[in-house]
């Protein structure tokens, strides 16, 4: 397997990666987007002194929410003294997912539209600009209206837990996924328990340069304490009544805010400007769980089987999503999956997580000397984005 070469390899490499810690806003809105982008770009330029001269494009996937902070590329360009020739684009999450935006970035390089670009994803909640009580009640009312279900048991969770649940529109999709793949609550909870045993890699963390007083960071220990408090989450009633899989706050993870940025380049450009590639992205595609465009068929098209993949990184929006993906991949051993933790352990920032997912896979291949890795990101129930990586030796 070490000498095997997949078919039709793309000419795309990863040069560097940065991410912010998980964070939250509290009580009042703020214009945070520009500060986060500047913080990440400053770190990338500091690590890569020649980057500004060779950068073509900055592409950012961003949560499009009512009253969400805006990004001022003019202010960013001026303060960082960027060339006016650098293209800057925003893909709004919801219209186009971050995973698909990352594919767009890869295509820019593949088709010669760019030779060196930065792609980023950023999640900033504005629901937390209300008080916790207001936010919880507003979320509960929205959920009840959308799902047309009565779930009085949620009062048992407490306001803080409920306000951090993931996007409710996914719950029915995850329930269907778990049902279709025969997953029980015990299966889902076991995966979460295993996830919490994994380390969190703190490399590439970027301090966020902001004076916003209502901004605060979340640590892994805070999540751990939150989950363990009175053992409330494990005893939670199902979020959907009458459901087969018993989705709970414990096995669907918690929503957070965060951002992550990758530098992508063509191999030739990286060599020309003196950069050593970290990893090669050799294939990517939007696929479905089943049918002609399934994950296994994607690998088959590249001349590989699930058994020839050294490590898997499945974006952890929920335990149901991870386990159903693994069943599609012939159930690889857990020691090959999400080695460095994921959203179930440290929270899931929707717009930032796909890019972090790809980099965790890159880091896993480096740390554990793997050659091939597969990243799988869920866009909707039956729509996935997959990236096949190969470690640069």
Burial classification of residue 53, based on how many CB atoms lie within 10 Å of its CB (0-12 exposed, 13-18 middle, 19 or more buried): exposed
Calpha distance 98→129 (Å, rounded): 24
- pLDDT averaged per 10 residues in sequence order, the chain, 393 residues: 62 92 61 84 88 90 64 87 87 71 92 92 60 43 44 39 49 81 87 79 77 65 56 52 62 78 94 90 90 87 94 90 91 91 77 90 95 91 90 84
Token pair, residue 289, equals 């769980």
Calpha distance 58→73 (Å, rounded): 10
Calpha distance 132→9 (Å, rounded): 49
Q: Helix (H, G, I), strand (E, B), or coil: what is residue 65?
A: coil
- Domain ranges (residues) in the chain: 281-391
- Do 351 and 123 form a contact (C-beta atoms < 8 A)? yes
Residue 214 has a pLDDT of 63
Calpha distance 393→252 (Å, rounded): 37
Residue 128 has a pLDDT of 39
Predicted TM-score (pTM) of the model is: 0.85
pLDDT tens sequence across 65-81: 555 566 888 888 998 99
Calpha distance 108→264 (Å, rounded): 10
Residue 290 has a pLDDT of 74
Percentage with pLDDT > 70 across the chain = 69
Q: Helix (H, G, I), strand (E, B), or coil: what is residue 186?
A: helix
**CB-side exposure of 314: number of CA atoms within 13 Å?**
24
pLDDT tens sequence across 148-163: 343 344 433 334 444 4
Residue 166 has a pLDDT of 44
The fold adopted by the segment(s) 281-391 is Peroxisomal Thiolase; Chain A, domain 1 (3.40.47)
Give the dihedral sign, CA 305/309/315/318: positive
Token pair, residue 96, equals 């186009």
Which residue, among 96, 127, 21, 98, has the nearest Cα to 315 in the 3D structure?
Answer: 98
Return the exposure string of 249-284: e unless at least 16 CB atoms fall within 10 Å of the residue's CB, then b: bbbbbbbbbbbbbbbbbbbebbeebebebbbbbbbb
* Tokens 């951090």 -> residue: 164
Helix (H) or strand (E) segment spanning residue 229: none
Residue 151 has a pLDDT of 38
Range list of β-strands (E), the chain:
12-19, 22-25, 57-63, 87-93, 116-123, 215-218, 258-266, 279-287, 311-314, 372-380, 383-391
């Amino acid at each position: 397997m070490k000498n095997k070469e997949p078919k039709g390899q793309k000419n795309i490499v990863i040069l560097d990666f940065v991410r912010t810690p998980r964070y939250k806003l509290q009580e009042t809105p703020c214009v945070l987007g520009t500060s986060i982008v500047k913080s990440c770009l400053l770190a990338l330029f500091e690590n890569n002194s020649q980057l500004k001269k060779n950068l073509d494009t900055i592409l950012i996937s961003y949560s499009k929410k009512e009253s969400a902070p805006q990004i001022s590329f003019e202010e960013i360009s001026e303060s960082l003294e960027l060339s006016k020739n650098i293209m800057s684009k925003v893909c709004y999450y919801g219209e186009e997912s971050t995973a698909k935006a990352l594919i767009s970035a890869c295509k820019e390089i593949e088709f010669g539209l760019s030779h060196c670009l930065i792609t980023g994803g950023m999640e900033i909640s504005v629901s937390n600009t209300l008080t916790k009580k207001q936010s919880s009640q507003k979320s509960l009312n929205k959920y009840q209206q959308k799902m047309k279900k009565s779930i009085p048991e949620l009062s048992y969770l407490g306001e803080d837990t409920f306000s951090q649940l993931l996007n409710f529109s996914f719950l029915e999709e995850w329930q269907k996924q778990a049902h279709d793949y025969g997953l029980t609550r015990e299966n889902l909870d076991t995966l979460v328990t295993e996830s919490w045993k994994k380390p969190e890699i703190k490399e590439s963390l970027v301090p966020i340069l902001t004076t916003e007083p209502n901004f605060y960071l979340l640590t892994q220990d805070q999540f751990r304490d939150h989950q363990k408090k009175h053992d409330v989450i494990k005893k939670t009633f199902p979020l959907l009544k009458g459901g087969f899989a018993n989705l709970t706050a414990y096995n669907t993870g918690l929503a957070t805010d965060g951002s992550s940025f990758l530098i992508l380049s063509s191999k030739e450009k990286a060599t020309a400007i003196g950069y050593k590639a970290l990893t090669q992205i050799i294939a990517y595609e939007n696929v479905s769980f089943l049918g002609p465009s399934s994950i296994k068929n994607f690998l088959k098209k590249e001349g590989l089987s699930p058994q020839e993949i050294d490590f898997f990184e499945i974006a952890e929006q929920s335990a149901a999503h991870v386990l159903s993906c693994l069943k599609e991949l012939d159930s690889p051993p857990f020691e090959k999956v999400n080695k460095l933790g994921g959203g179930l352990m440290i929270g899931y920032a929707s717009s930032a997580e796909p890019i972090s997912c790809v980099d965790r896979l890159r880091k896993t291949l480096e740390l554990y000397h793997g050659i091939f890795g597969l990243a799988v990101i869920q866009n909707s129930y039956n729509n996935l984005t997959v990236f096949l990586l190969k470690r640069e030796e």
